[in-house]
Amino acid sequence: MKSIYVGNIPFSASENDMRDLFGEYGNVSAVKLIQDHETGRFRGFGFVEMEDADAAAAIEALDGYEMSGRPLKVNEAKPRAPRPRH
């Protein structure tokens, strides 16, 4: 499994739209659109989890893909920061 960073996402897009889009290039395991923890507003980027080969194909195919007039930025994601103690 590999995590994909997706940036420049139009505010009109939803997790379902992202799953459907990336799903054309492989099996999408999970989709997460990041929102501001204070205001709850969508921050314009998110992450998609796919199989390694599918992720590579999706990155190649969807990087620069124009979604609602905005070119998507798709790259392999860096590992998420560890969950802080609570």
Q: What does the binding site for DNA look like in residue numbers (CB under 7 A)?
A: 3, 5, 7-12, 30, 32, 34-35, 37, 39-45, 47, 49, 70, 73, 75-81, 83-84
Q: What angle do CA 44, 7, 86 make, to 5 degrees?
A: 65
Q: What angle do CA 34, 40, 43 make, to 5 degrees?
A: 40
Nearer to DNA, 66 or 80 (CB): 80
Q: How far is the CB of 47 from DNA (least distance, A)?
A: 4
User: What do you get for the CA distance between the two ends of the chain, in Å?
Assistant: 28
Q: How far is the CB of 86 from DNA (least distance, A)?
A: 8
Nearer to DNA, 42 or 65 (CB): 42
User: What is the maximum alpha-carbon separation in the chain?
Assistant: 40
Q: How far is the CB of 11 from DNA (least distance, A)?
A: 3
